[in-house]
A and B are shown apart, each in its own frame.
Chain A
Amino acid sequence: MNASVTPGRPVVEVRELVKDYVTRDARLRQHTARAVDGVSFEIAAGETFAIVGESGSGKTTVGRVLLKLTSATGGTVLFGGEEILEVPERRFRPERRHMQMVFQDPLAAFDPQTTIRSSLREFTRLSGIETRAEQNEAIAEAVRSVGLEPEIADRRPSQVSGGQLQRLSIARSLLPEPELLFLDEPTSSLDVSIRGQIVNLLLDLQERNDLAYLLVAHDLRVVYAMAQRVAVMYLGQFVEVGARDQVYANARHPYTRGLLEAAELDEPPRRGDPVRLVGEISEEAAAKPGCRLTLRCPFAVQRCEEPQPLRETAAGHFVRCWRAVEQPVEIGLPPNE
């Protein structure tokens, strides 16, 4: 992965991140589910790195572990060159200003019992603004920067529309002046006609503030509009990573091809035959040593049961499928570049 092209200095570097969830069944036996299984990537300032995948792929967990909202099982996260996973919560709290999050459902992201202003006020304290007047000034400026009138902050979350509330959620996340924003499905709870407004706003804000974005989404249109690099995740693993156009126009992994096919995108034109995936994601497949897609993949053969490493097919383009690398023509792909 170090070979991938990243402009500028990486804001965050993630190496071999692992996250297990331990549950107990009725007989108190322990079960370990590996939600994230050895994920590595880095994001530069001003860059958007997107993780796409179906629900259950572990994509949101990656972001939450990265922001230390849940603990990691293994791996390292370097933020601005410094390891953060080992830092105890008490010491890390003031550092939270550097990394913020935008939630999928803005209505769930605001405390229903307080006004929007008081939710925003909490975030101004992170950047050391103590007096009320200065806080209100910072809030007004942040609310204006997302295209709303400052008075709207005096309402309750239930009294503004979904699109407006998502703008306010973005304003809130920018108050501490972070370098990294984790965007967890920022448009999927919004109406189609509002979706574009939010995407464009996020793009403008990124340009203005040189922000690094970790975008987690299943809407491939939104990802195409926002990301420079895209990782496709399936059951805890990246199965394909590359520059946006490599992944969209020259998808190599059968899963990526199936996702693109299902999304019915008109643009950009894709190389290779369309792929139909059958069945649905099942966590049992995550326990297998080999490829986890074999039950759904039209190209699965015996050798797919062996462990599959992420292999580079072109500069910065990685695929976790031996057939895509060694037998592209047989699975309906143009030969490797």
Chain B
Amino acid sequence: MDILLDILAENGYISDEDITSLAAGLDMSSADVEQTVSFYHFFARKPMAKYNVYLNSSAIAVLKGREKIATAFERESGCSFGKVSEDGMISLDDCADIGMADQEPAALINGIVFPNLTAFRVKELVRDMRKGLSVDELRSHGLGDGMNNSEYMKATVTNNIRKKGAVIFSEYQGGSALEKVKADRMSQEQLIDLVKQSGLRGRGGAGFPTAMKWDFCRKAKGEKKYIFCNADEGEPGTFKDRVILTERPRLIFDGMALAGYAVGAEEGILYVRYEYMYMKEYLESILTEMRKEKALGKDASGIKGFNFDIRIQYGAGAYVCGEESALIESAEGKRGEPRDRPPFPVEKGYLGMPTAVNNVETLCSVAKLVTNGVEWFKSLGTGQSTGTKLLSISGDVKYPGVYEVEWGFSINDILEMSGGDPAAVQAVQVGGPSGSCVGPNEFERIVSYEDIATGGAMMVIGEDHDLLQDVVLNFTEFFIDESCGSCSTCRALTVMYKKTLEKVLSGDGRRKDIDAMLSWAPIGKASRCGLGQTAMNPICTSIKNFRYLYEGHIKNANEQYEGGFDIAKAVADSCEVVGRRPNL
């Protein structure tokens, strides 16, 4: 992956020669290299323009006026999406969510994020591109807040931290968690036991108990063990990891070191999505400092016999790589196809060795609970959901951004917190496209593992949007684009859902089409990974909660015969050839 990313950064695309020489160097067939390259969205195979614009097309971007920005780009650059401008300067493409839902519309230009776009800003950008300014110069005015402003990052992204909680965003003195381990002479088992007592569960969405994962990994046999921190954060509407990476990188790295100590790993890998490439130098600089401080390396943090270092692995644009086994495949330089389980990564993960993959927020929570103690941690949240949760709130609210809350808030609370008007909200998409689309009658539900669990995305959809067209269809298309295609159920069923939804929206649908879509869900559940298993959720949960929207498109409720076939349209071509008008 790193070689391909370097080639991409250097040349802007990956040529046939690159593939051939890489294959020879790695003793692979060129088709083996190509199959990896062609898997990822950002590995361009043709020479691109000098400036490659990828404009986000996620649902939130659409709600925030993406179409106007797209039109502005087309007008200013004189080229259409999927094309390169005539002078070879600018190319325009779509891309899936880039983790900026709180500042959409946003685009990546040569791998660098440009958020909060307006038609005016597009005009300026295109003008500056025509002048040949570097991407650094393009973003030179209007840098973001906090560390976004730092020398290594110089990002125009803003953090939008709206609520600081006790765990993630409270002050943290780098290295203190490991000092505690050293001072208390904590053994591996004691550390895992501490995490167990805290009741901490994975923050990525699935909620697996962290201590159990570590214990499996510690007990598994293997010459080497690995720790991964999953910062792929591809779920549209989620951007909390972006903010943690920006403001609390040391907390993450300390969490990784604790995990490494607990399972007996010598190497930790932070897997970051391509869209956060602008953070690369900054994150590397933190690691360099840690090495200087001897917080990494031999006898790390002064703990005898604990040799641990961290490297950063970037992805190249594939949502499915957020699935832990796909992430491992990707880090091995392969296509990001999820693996079959068993064996689980804790038994056979990276390079076949026991591997624990944890979410960014989970590892940060560990570092904090070790520093401040189990009792402190358990005093936060509800019975089964201890600690805090970062919410990424986006869409039709006054203050989109990251909120660190204790578990136990209702959706209504969250709407009020973020300046949304519950009366003017049509739906909230909890947990991103793979989660559920809930309506006002469920706004009293409590965000926790006991009731409605979430990886943190809350997309608020106001009543003036077309929920089915702008959101549900958009999400379904997202899953089609991001399916790795390995399972027949995920690859094909998503398309069937899209076709049928489009049929309903076009007015040709029948009542039975709505029921048919619900009845297909068990087939999707037979998929290997979470992507396939949840890809029908946008449609199925919205049928459940907003059935009237679907039925509103059904013209004749009693019509049983198949719709969607227009004979006049079907014979139009042949009629034209023979010069007849259909006699219908």
Question: Do A and B assemble together?
Answer: no
* Chain A residues within 8 Å of B, Cβ to Cβ: none
